[in-house]
């Protein structure tokens, strides 16, 4: 609905402070990014309606700041219809409520491309996310995955940190000789240890004759 309006009043990232200061803003989403956006609006003397499809998934302390700051939280609902109203927008929610907003900030994350994962033939976890090793490498050699596509903590800061680490591992992977590759050496040691443990477990001492 919102994307069909093609309006500059609908933002998919946090707009400039002047765009929402003293305005009424609807924030769509229930994760930490959405809650942080709502707090920013309230700190700039704006009014906030937080629209959450199910339940709030963000930090409890941030949600408390929103409610104590006068923000209105609409849970188990979503935008059913959006249309222009004067200089702003009129949002009709699936729970029957209707509200006016000068701006709408959408912070619902992005859908991972599962079909792309399948085409790449990488191993997936039960929830459809990409399985990785401790070096962020997937089941296919040379393909690394960071951020929301594998992680439980879906935050930009986490994705940035993982990206830096994965880049370092990838660089070592393509520049180090085979016999000096840190990852391979470590994994080889783990394999040898595992084999020795398996051999020890399988060993059965001979019984002495009476």
Q: Are residues 141 and 92 in the same domain?
A: no
CATH number at residue 72: 3.50.50.60
Look at the block and give the residue holding tokens 């933002």: 11
154 shares a domain with 93: no
Q: What tokens does 153 get?
A: 């903590």
Residue 171 has a pLDDT of 85
Last residue of a domain, one of 58, 83, 106: 106
52, 75 Cβ separation under 8 angstroms: yes
151 and 185 together in one domain: yes
Q: Are residues 138 and 196 in the same domain?
A: yes
Could you say which of 64, 86, 106 is where a domain stops? 106
State the total domains in the chain: 2
The angle, 0 to 180 degrees and rounded to 10, between the axes of the packed helices 60-68 and 32-43 is: 30
Are residues 172 and 192 both part of a single domain? yes
The verdict on 20 and 86 lying in the same domain is yes
Tell me the helices (H) and strands (E) count for the chain, helix number first: 7, 8
Closest of 111, 146, 153, 119 to residue 132, by C-alpha: 146
Q: pLDDT under 70 in the chain at which residues?
A: 1, 109-115, 151-154, 176-198, 200-210
Residue 208 in domain: no
- Note the pLDDT of residue 90: 94
Report the alpha-carbon distance of residue 38 to residue 34 in Å, rounded.
Answer: 6
pLDDT score of 205:
60
pLDDT digit string, tens, across residues 28-54: 999 888 999 999 999 999 999 999 998
Predicted pLDDT of residue 69? 95
> Is residue 34 within 8 Å of residue 50, measured between CB atoms?
yes
- Write down the pTM of the prediction: 0.57
Looking at 79, 106, 133, the residue that finishes a domain is 106
Would you state the structure tokens that stand for residue 147, as one six-digit string? Answer: 């951020």
Position 114 scores a pLDDT of: 63
23 and 93 in a single domain? The answer is yes
Whether residue 209 is contained in a domain is answered as: no
Residue 43's domain comprises 2-106
**Pair (13, 101) in one structural domain:** yes
Query: Based on the domain organization, do 96 and 131 belong to the same domain?
Result: no
- So what's the pLDDT on residue 179? 52
């Amino acid at each position: 609905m919102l994307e069909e309006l093609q309006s500059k009043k609908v933002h998919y990232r946090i707009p400039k402070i002047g765009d929402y200061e003293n305005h009424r803003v609807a924030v769509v989403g229930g994760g930490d990014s959405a809650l942080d956006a709502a707090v920013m609006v309230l700190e700039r003397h704006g009014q906030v309606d937080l629209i959450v499809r199910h339940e709030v998934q963000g930090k409890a302390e941030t949600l408390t700041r929103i409610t104590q700051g006068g923000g209105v939280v609409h849970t188990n609902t979503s935008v059913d219809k959006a249309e222009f109203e004067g200089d702003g927008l009129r949002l009709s929610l699936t729970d029957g409520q209707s509200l006016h907003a000068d701006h709408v900030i959408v912070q619902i994350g992005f859908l991972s491309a599962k079909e792309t994962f399948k085409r790449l033939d990488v191993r997936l976890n039960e929830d459809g996310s990409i399985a990785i090793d401790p070096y962020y490498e997937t089941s296919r050699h040379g393909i690394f995955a960071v951020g929301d596509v594998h992680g439980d903590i879906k935050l930009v800061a986490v994705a940035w940190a993982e990206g830096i680490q994965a880049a370092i591992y990838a660089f070592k992977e393509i520049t180090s000789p085979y016999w000096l590759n840190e990852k391979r050496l470590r994994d080889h040691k783990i394999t040898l240890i595992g084999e020795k443990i398996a051999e020890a477990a399988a060993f059965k001492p001979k019984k002495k004759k009476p």
